[in-house]
A = this chain, B = another copy of it.
Amino acid sequence: MGRVVDVPELVEQAREGQPRAVARLISLVEDASPHLRAVAAALAPHTGRAQVIGLTGSPGVGKSTSTSALVTAFRQAGKRVGVLAVDPSSPFSGGALLGDRIRMQDHATDPGVFIRSMATRGHLGGLSWATPQALRVLDAAGCDVVLIETVGVGQSEVEVVALADTTVVLLAPGMGDGIQAAKAGILEIADVFVVNKADRDGADATVRDLKYMISLGRKEIRGAMWRQPIVKTVASRAEGVPEVVTALLDHRVWMTEHGELDQRRQRRAEAEIEAIALAELRSRLGDLRGGTALTDLGKRVAEGELDPYTAADELVAGLRG
């Protein structure tokens, strides 16, 4: 944009909790600006402290309300809180750090809360590729807790796990698809289950169904067992929210005791490094022979002259050139 960017100064200001600096840094990573690498390098030494909590669940279970209630609870405990709302349906991203979502208006004027909506670039579902870097900005800005809220579309539910220390899966009574989704893989990704709207009919049945499913597929880590708790809430009235906070704390303690927190963070870092490396390699493959190598090979495969595996071998061999 032609504006002069002083990355070290911005990072310093963000560490002091200045909202404008935080917003600016997130914009720099989200826009993949030329300063992206400088920002990443400047943030690195100041990261690793925040507790990262992912919230996911089908549309209608009350994710925004639950996120807002958790923010309130963490604020009451004196924590500094960051929220990344990853929303593919949102036409806008960036900009409004101060509550661009109605549910979050309660926190809009609280200097101890950073809220950021991120659009997912590209296709339906899925987390923005910029989310890990945005997470680092909030971490470096001194957030004790960062909540990542996603819409409940297949892939994004899985990807939130790759970023979070603890993943909360929200369900609501009477939503058959909540349980369906659970069958399709949610069971494996949940560290904590929350049955929201628990004042509605069917809440106990949902809890019972969940308990049964959990009993079928317990997850064992390093010989120890984390028993996924099920917490009933009415997030709109903050009922059950303290119990959720307790469950999150329990999970963190359990992970720390079993070395699982370090393991998860290590895997997260590896996945991120790999993704960046593959993006770089993909770009190099596309540039081979002035961008003609892949086109020529594609033509030969389309015409049946070559099979795609042999073509891929030729392409990879070109990297050595």
- Known A47-B304, A124-B185, A155-B123; judge A278-B276 contact (CB<8 A): no
Contact of A158 with B124 in the complex, beta carbons under 8 Å: yes
Chain A to chain B contacts (Cβ below 8 Å), 30 pairs: A36-B309, A37-B309, A41-B307, A45-B305, A46-B304, A123-B158, A124-B155, A124-B157, A124-B185, A153-B153, A266-B298, A269-B298, A269-B301, A269-B302, A269-B311, A270-B294, A270-B295, A270-B297, A273-B294, A273-B311, A273-B315, A274-B282, A274-B285, A276-B309, A276-B312, A277-B312, A277-B316, A278-B278, A278-B281, A281-B316
A275-308 vs B, Cβ < 8 Å mask (1 yes, 0 no) = 0111011100110000000110111011111111
Given contacts A132-B308, A270-B295, A277-B285, list 16 more A-B pairs with CB under 8 A: A40-B308, A44-B306, A45-B305, A46-B304, A88-B184, A123-B155, A125-B125, A266-B298, A267-B298, A269-B297, A269-B299, A277-B315, A278-B278, A280-B312, A280-B313, A281-B316
Residues 128-157 (chain A) with a chain B CB within 8 angstroms? 132, 153-155, 157
Residues 246-283 (chain A) with a chain B CB within 8 angstroms? 262, 265-270, 272-274, 276-278, 280-282
Contact of A301 with B316 in the complex, beta carbons under 8 Å: no
Q: Which of B43, B154, B304 contacts A44 (CB 8 A)?
A: B304
Q: Which of B43, B124, B153, B308 contacts A273 (CB 8 A)?
A: B308
User: Chain B residues with Cβ under 8 A from A205's Cβ?
Assistant: none
Residue of B nearest to A319 (CB): B319
User: Chain B residues with Cβ under 8 A from A82's Cβ?
Assistant: none
Minimum distance in angstroms from A92 CB to a CB of chain B: 15
User: Chain B residues with Cβ under 8 A from A276's Cβ?
Assistant: 308-309, 311-312
Minimum distance in angstroms from A168 CB to a CB of chain B: 18
Cα-based distance from A121 to B43 in the complex (angstroms)? 37
Residue of B nearest to A156 (CB): B154
Contact of A273 with B302 in the complex, beta carbons under 8 Å: no
Is A111 among interface residues, defined by CB-CB distance under 8 A? no
Cα-based distance from A45 to B303 in the complex (angstroms)? 8
Cα-based distance from A158 to B281 in the complex (angstroms)? 23
User: Chain B residues with Cβ under 8 A from A267's Cβ?
Assistant: 298
Is A76 among interface residues, defined by CB-CB distance under 8 A? no
User: Chain B residues with Cβ under 8 A from A302's Cβ?
Assistant: 48, 262, 265-266, 268-269
Contact of B185 with A308 in the complex, beta carbons under 8 Å: no
User: Chain B residues with Cβ under 8 A from A48's Cβ?
Assistant: 302-304
A76-94 vs B, Cβ < 8 Å mask (1 yes, 0 no) = 0000000000001100000
Is A310 among interface residues, defined by CB-CB distance under 8 A? yes
User: Chain B residues with Cβ under 8 A from A298's Cβ?
Assistant: 266-267, 269-270, 273
Cα-based distance from A292 to B184 in the complex (angstroms)? 33
Is A126 among interface residues, defined by CB-CB distance under 8 A? yes
Cα-based distance from A295 to B269 in the complex (angstroms)? 9
